[in-house]
A and B are shown apart, each in its own frame.
Chain A
């Protein structure tokens, strides 16, 4: 799949923002006034910024308002509805903290749970697609949730929780890569099942329907991005969780150190999310004898 910057930024930043909202909702850390303002400023900048980036993916954004209408059937619509509901609710909770130094406990908890449900709906947009076996694996929603929780814990300054979650995240991500490498084969779609010509022998594409790449190939048969996938896996696997966890656990905590941990996590997050798209193979590629 084409690793479009809009969807990479959308899924990674909004996940991070909702992860931070989760911990803030449980008063971890317990903040009011200006410090609450800055925490929520970061949380909203990430989640709203991510959602706005997703609008950049639309080719006809004037009809975007209709995206809130199909929540009964569509995960993308559910994601839109849930993110707006969560942000409105959390804004009310944050206003209480910032301006009135009042913590409405139940509102915080509700916002936290809704933030996680929002991340779940984001993961389902991809996880629901049987056409992309690497995304259709049962681990995908759990992986997205662990990304949000570990990144959120890191931003919320929950040192021990963040370190444990970051290590869990790294292990889950490595497992997802390894399972993902076998997913396409296990799904059972081949050029023979795609064309129904298997009983005539081994099938290959003799002539393409068009002389240069079309929308389908640019969007779904993205081979270029996989060139450096092994190197990127190493980079992501180390910077995502191991470096930040080591810094948090082994060295005395200072602000510059925390910043290095966050930057390292971001590098790993973007590299892994790039791979999430670039390595995902769509079954339509079979019609082009490509994956």
Chain B
């Protein structure tokens, strides 16, 4: 039944650190690699080497620029995958019972044996977390690597989502938001973890840790630690040109 559980025992999700993400897209690639050969239908590509390639991905990286009047712009790399919302609208709109949210850990999944590919769940999601696979005709979404995190055939350090495991910057963290002592809960509390588009009322589980204040944007704090080292070096010409330079300066 596509009713949402009243509450879930765990709230597994990701804390994504926008301060440390370098936008390398390694999580995108590892996500695709793991999920194309495990849970459900493969993540197909269409026209992969053509003029307009298109493929199914469960995780995407946008890069934004934020700029305040009179300040330098900041670049923020922004990974986006399913936020495993507490009040997931994608689940309740599903007519076939293919979409569901697990009572035990809060993961939102699609049972592909029931999905008819109507796409209504993708319309209901404000975050663009669901993509209809053009080859298999079924809805694909982040499973939080449900086939890794409980997989006893994998070494313990690999029992995290593929995107978290591979991130070279340590920008993605996996844990239980229901446990106030978990890594992700602590991190989110410390850094003021954000819920995306809170006005949509979806109550997302994933949290985004905002970029730390920069010192070189010219906003507020004017101290620029690196500035003295970055001043353009005075070019000193020697020989005849040096003499000419000095002579002309004196006139």
> Would you call A76 and B52 a contact (CB within 8 A)?
no
Determine if A60 and B115 form an interchain contact, defined as CB atoms under 8 angstroms apart: yes
For window 212-233 of A, CB contacts with B under 8 Å fall at 212-216, 219-220
Contact call B66/A74, Cβ cutoff below 8 A: no
Contacts of B211 in A (CB 8 A): 197, 200
Q: How far is the CA of A212 from the CA of B54 in the complex (A)?
A: 7
Contact B116 A73 (CB under 8 A): no
How many angstroms from the CA of A193 to the CA of B78 in the assembled complex? 13
Q: Which of A64-72, A101-109, A243-251 contacts B (4 or more CB under 8 A)?
A: A64-72
Q: In the complex, which residues 22-52 of chain B have their Cβ closer than 8 Å to any Cβ of chain A?
A: 23, 28, 51-52
Whether a CB of chain B sits under 8 angstroms from the CB of A128 is yes
Docked-complex contact B2 and A74, CB < 8 angstroms:
yes
Q: Which chain B residues lie closer than 8 Å to A200 at the CB level?
A: 66, 68, 74, 76, 211
The residue of chain A having its C-beta at the shortest distance from the C-beta of B51 within the complex is A212
CB-CB contacts below 8 Å: A38-82 with B: 57-64, 66-67, 69-70, 72-77, 80
CB contact between B123 and one of A1, A60, A74, A209 (< 8 Å): that residue: A1
Q: A201 contacts which of B54, B68, B114, B128 (Cβ < 8 Å)?
A: B68
Check B80 against A130 for contact (C-beta < 8 Å).
no
Bound-complex Cα distance A219 to B54 (A): 13
Task: Tell me whether A210 and B98 are in contact (CB under 8 A).
Answer: no
By a CB distance below 8 angstroms, the chain B residues around A219 are 119, 122-123, 132
Number of B positions contacting A (CB below 8 A):
70
* Chain B residues, CB < 8 A from A76: 93, 95, 118, 120
* A270 interface hit (Cβ, 8 Å): no
> For the complex, is A185 an interface residue (Cβ under 8 Å from B)?
no
Compute how far the CA of A278 lies from the CA of B1 in the bound complex, rounded to whole angstroms: 32
Any A CB within 8 A of the CB of B169? no
Closest chain B CB from A82 CB (angstroms): 12
Flag the segment in A27-35, A142-150, A281-289 that touches B. Answer: A281-289
Q: Would you give 11 A-B contacts (Cβ < 8 Å), ordered by A? A: A58-B137, A59-B134, A63-B117, A64-B116, A70-B1, A130-B126, A195-B76, A200-B74, A209-B60, A210-B60, A284-B126
The 8 closest A-B pairs by CB, nearest first: A59-B117, A59-B137, A201-B68, A200-B66, A60-B117, A66-B96, A77-B95, A60-B137
Which A residues fall within an 8 A CB radius of B?
1, 57-64, 66-67, 69-70, 72-77, 80, 125, 128-132, 187-189, 191, 193-197, 199-216, 219-220, 282-284, 287-288
Residues of chain B touching chain A, judged by Cβ–Cβ distance below 8 Å, are 1-3, 18, 23, 28, 51-57, 60-69, 71, 73-76, 78, 80, 89, 92-98, 113-120, 122-128, 131-132, 134, 136-138, 194-201, 208, 210-211
> Besides A80-B95, A209-B60, A216-B131, 8 other CB < 8 A contacts?
A66-B95, A66-B114, A129-B93, A194-B196, A203-B64, A203-B66, A205-B64, A220-B123
